[in-house]
Homo-oligomer: A and B are copies of this chain.
């Protein structure tokens, strides 16, 4: 190697590059130092705006940086500093408008504080989830926000073991003491159910999400509580457990329409399910709310326009994303990693659009009794 030093550093550099099979030579802090005639550490000080560099030197260094198009290597920096300035967002499906908006909240917040976001879709699949977590652990993400796809705490425990700050979003995991940002699903379910009951509905179908998921159980609980409180018997045949997906909503709505007496209203556990159900209703020639009531969780910005009839429990996914990211960043930067788990409940709104029960459905129901 020393033989090359006669020809100067640039040549040596090229040789090194060839060995690594890279076409463009990586310009390192050392190259800049050489060109500016200073030590690497001085360049480091300039790049990071640290004190202790004379204006003249600073200038020379900056010129060298510009000339060489030097871009600091964040990976090397991370290796040294033991922080990647990266967080991960693990959710079920970015395609769902709810998660999309959460993601935007997280990214905005992270970016503001100088963090980048890696996102992962688990599709509610535990295997994918644990695979991702493993990878993220290897990546040494500084923290992660996750919507756990089940109650299995295994994956999450491995995060704890490795001391990776973690915020659960939207869902709690039973028995796991961890930070959570969510909205009050039980309360939402209570209000939606009560709304239907107030409109005169008694036979109400629940198209639920997977009970493996906390949020889903909460919605079920809120529904049952409220039915009970109003002394309305619950027909188990009208409770369907499925994925938080459109196809399930479609399928179940169909099945439910075959029940007799037919339910006069449907409570969909989220918007996807509601949309699927809506498809089935249209197919059956039923109008909402004239012929059958429909309420659900989640909203869309354009919902008033698109679904002028749909009463919803509108969570605030953007706020949830922001809150989760802020809590996480807080955990990451706080000196002490020992702390009590926090649970942040983000407000949500009951948005009542048109009455979901009409005279018609009320009459029909009375006839059924």
Asked, given contacts A118-B118, A305-B282, whether A138 binds B100 with beta carbons under 8 Å apart, the answer is no
Interface 1/0 per residue, A247-291 and B, CB below 8 Å = 000000000000000000000000000010011001000000000
Taken together as a complex, chains A and B put the C-alpha atoms of A84 and B82 apart, in Å, by 16
In the assembled complex, A362 has its CB within 8 A of some CB on chain B:
no
In the assembled complex, A75 has its CB within 8 A of some CB on chain B:
yes
Can you list 22 contacts pairing A with B, beta carbon distance less than 8 Å? A22-B82, A69-B162, A71-B137, A72-B138, A73-B140, A74-B139, A74-B140, A75-B75, A75-B140, A79-B79, A94-B104, A95-B104, A97-B100, A104-B121, A107-B120, A116-B135, A117-B119, A119-B119, A246-B301, A246-B302, A275-B302, A279-B302
Q: A363 contacts which chain B residues (CB < 8 A)?
A: none
Asked, given contacts A69-B162, A71-B138, whether A23 binds B337 with beta carbons under 8 Å apart, the answer is yes
Question: How many identical subunits does the complex contain?
Answer: 2
In the assembled complex, A103 has its CB within 8 A of some CB on chain B:
yes
Could you tell me how many residues of chain A have their Cβ less than 8 Å away from some Cβ of chain B?
Answer: 55
In the assembled complex, A6 has its CB within 8 A of some CB on chain B:
no
In the assembled complex, A42 has its CB within 8 A of some CB on chain B:
no
In the assembled complex, A163 has its CB within 8 A of some CB on chain B:
yes
In the assembled complex, A20 has its CB within 8 A of some CB on chain B:
yes
Q: Which of A99-142 contact B (CB under 8 A)?
A: 100-101, 103-104, 107-108, 111, 116-121, 134-135, 137-140
Taken together as a complex, chains A and B put the C-alpha atoms of A337 and B82 apart, in Å, by 33
Most chain B CB inside 10 Å of its own CB: which residue of A23, A74, A117: A74
Residue of chain B at shortest CB distance from A338: B23
Cβ of B79 and Cβ of A107 under 8 Å apart? Answer: no
Asked, given contacts A74-B140, A94-B104, whether A163 binds B119 with beta carbons under 8 Å apart, the answer is no
Nearest-neighbour CB distance to chain B for A97, whole angstroms, equals 7
Taken together as a complex, chains A and B put the C-alpha atoms of A76 and B82 apart, in Å, by 10
In the assembled complex, A78 has its CB within 8 A of some CB on chain B:
yes
Residue of chain B at shortest CB distance from A131: B111
Q: A107 contacts which chain B residues (CB < 8 A)?
A: 94, 119-121
Nearest-neighbour CB distance to chain B for A331, whole angstroms, equals 13
Residue of chain B at shortest CB distance from A107: B121
Taken together as a complex, chains A and B put the C-alpha atoms of A117 and B26 apart, in Å, by 23
Taken together as a complex, chains A and B put the C-alpha atoms of A79 and B20 apart, in Å, by 12
Q: Which of A156-199 contact B (CB under 8 A)?
A: 158, 161-163
Residue of chain B at shortest CB distance from A135: B116
Taken together as a complex, chains A and B put the C-alpha atoms of A337 and B275 apart, in Å, by 47
Interface 1/0 per residue, A290-316 and B, CB below 8 Å = 000000000001100111000000000
Q: A97 contacts which chain B residues (CB < 8 A)?
A: 97, 100
Residue of chain B at shortest CB distance from A111: B120
Q: A75 contacts which chain B residues (CB < 8 A)?
A: 75, 78-79, 84, 139-140
In the assembled complex, A24 has its CB within 8 A of some CB on chain B:
yes
Cβ of B82 and Cβ of A20 under 8 Å apart? Answer: yes
In the assembled complex, A93 has its CB within 8 A of some CB on chain B:
yes
17 additional A-B pairs beyond A24-B161, A75-B75, A117-B118, beta carbons within 8 Å, are A22-B82, A22-B163, A23-B337, A24-B162, A26-B82, A71-B137, A71-B162, A72-B138, A73-B138, A74-B138, A74-B140, A75-B78, A76-B79, A94-B104, A95-B104, A116-B118, A246-B302
In the assembled complex, A86 has its CB within 8 A of some CB on chain B:
yes
Cβ of B116 and Cβ of A139 under 8 Å apart? Answer: yes
